[in-house]
């Protein structure tokens, strides 16, 4: 029976994480002013707009941050965590569930950015068409993290700025997200 629960948990995680990925891409694309004519940007906008349009009427953007998309991403993490607890037959504490879902969203965003920076640095080593839609969007989203270190950590012909950014993201996961996850899990299970 636990094998079936594990498989169901995996499918639930994949479904909710795909939705959160789309919403985070929307937040990052808007915050970094990604090119709307990029086919990948259009895909993200097309599939997130039906859900975001009603919420954006109530919750406007703050500067260039799409607060409605962030709220929906957090609610998706909250619903995912609640469903996973319900599948195992446990009812978590509300405060713990709220903190746990917020911590999971933070951890997911940090890991997402870590993967983007890694992919960007890997693709920069190869002769890839700079006009490719994926590379253009990736470059637009990663550029704000790389800008402060660009050209400062060059040794020989190697730029260590991506590695420094990835280490900073890993440290943020360990020092900020992990303690919040632990706190949320303790509060959720304290019943």
Give the start-to-end residue ranges of the domains of the chain: 2-189
The model's pTM is: 0.92
Model confidence pLDDT, tens digit, residues 57-73? 999 999 999 999 999 99
| Furthest C-alpha separation in the chain | 57
Give, in degrees to the nearest 5, the angle at Cα 66 between 19 and 104: 45
Q: Give the pLDDT band of residue 125 (cuts 50, 70, 90).
A: confident
pLDDT tens digit sequence for 20-58: 999 999 999 999 999 989 999 999 999 999 999 999 999
Half-sphere exposure of 51 (CA within 13 A, CB side): 19
Give residue-wise pLDDT tens across range 83-121.
999 998 888 999 999 999 999 999 999 999 999 999 999
Could you report the per-residue pLDDT of 133-188, keeping only the tens digit for each?
A: 888 999 999 999 999 988 888 888 888 999 999 999 999 999 999 999 999 999 99
SS3 145: helix
């Amino acid at each position: 029976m636990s094998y079936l629960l594990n498989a169901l948990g995996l499918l639930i995680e994949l479904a909710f994480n795909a939705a959160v990925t789309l919403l985070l891409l929307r937040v990052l694309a808007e915050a970094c002013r990604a090119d709307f004519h990029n086919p990948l940007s259009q895909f993200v906008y097309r599939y997130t707009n039906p859900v975001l349009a009603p919420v954006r009427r109530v919750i406007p953007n703050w500067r260039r941050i799409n607060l409605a998309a962030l709220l929906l991403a957090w609610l998706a993490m909250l619903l995912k965590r609640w469903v996973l607890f319900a599948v195992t037959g446990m009812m978590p504490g509300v405060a713990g569930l709220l903190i746990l879902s917020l911590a999971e969203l933070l951890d997911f965003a940090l890991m997402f950015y870590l993967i983007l920076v890694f992919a960007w640095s890997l693709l920069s080593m190869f002769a890839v068409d700079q006009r490719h839609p994926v590379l253009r969007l990736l470059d637009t989203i990663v550029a704000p993290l790389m800008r402060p270190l660009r050209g400062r950590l060059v040794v020989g012909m190697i730029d260590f700025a991506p590695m420094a950014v990835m280490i900073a993201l890993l440290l943020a996961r360990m020092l900020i997200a992990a303690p919040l996850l632990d706190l949320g899990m303790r509060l959720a299970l304290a019943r």
